[in-house]
Copies of this chain bind each other. A is one copy, B any other.
Amino acid sequence: MPALIIQLALYFLFRMNTTAYIEKQQEKETTRIETFSDGVFCIAVTLLSLEIGVDVKNSATNSSLFHALLEKWPIYFAYIISFINVLLAWMGHHSLFKNLRGTDNYVMISNGILLMLVALVPFPTKTLGLFLLSGALKMAVVFYTFYFVLISLAFRLLWHAASRKRELLVHHLTKADIKAITRNENIGLICNSIVTLSAFINPWVALGLSFVMWMYWIFFG
């Protein structure tokens, strides 16, 4: 009798270790891609700050520096909204990869496209900051918001790549879960498209809509 208990217990312990080992091996692939992706998100978000600076003037006074710092507000504004956008994209990437168990070439490529777009976020950000108070405001906002439509598309593509094969997803994911994620990605894509379209009518309305979307994602997403 005790022998049986021991055998069962040891068998169980042994299996636990073995499956842990196998799962660890399988997990290794997605972990490395996730770490690399995290790195790109992390560097992209920190590089946003690189272009911000006040030029030195020999005749600088306290008051002129104060006004020079204040006048830069469109740059700060663009920095802040891009920082939030990249952080939200990072969280989205994270929650998408939580459902992944393995990868294949299609997943790698669509993830690569997403990272390529994320790494270039400083470019639309700089453009928005520089042209926010110029006559090219509308174009700058259209470009900026359209850029995040592209990022939504890359997310949608990545999820399509991952969800098309059951063996790439974690075991406990039900069909309903998969459907819910697909719907979420679609909604994100549609919302970003609406923001871009509204920018053609009124760029400030578009920026306001983005803000409403964030609040929704943060508090109910």
Contacts and interface: CB of A to CB of B under 8 A. Distances in A.
A45 B119 contact: yes
A214 to B, nearest CB: 10
A54 interface: yes
A122 interface: yes
Given A5-B6, A65-B139, 14 more contacts: A3-B5, A12-B14, A13-B13, A13-B14, A38-B39, A43-B47, A47-B49, A48-B119, A51-B53, A59-B135, A61-B136, A62-B139, A105-B218, A109-B218
Contact of A39 (B10, B39, B116): B39
Contacts of A35: 38
Interface of A: 1-3, 5-7, 9-10, 12-14, 16-17, 32, 35-36, 38-54, 56, 58-66, 69, 79-80, 83-84, 87, 90-91, 94, 105, 108-109, 112, 115-116, 119-120, 122-123, 126-127, 130-131, 134-140, 143, 218-219
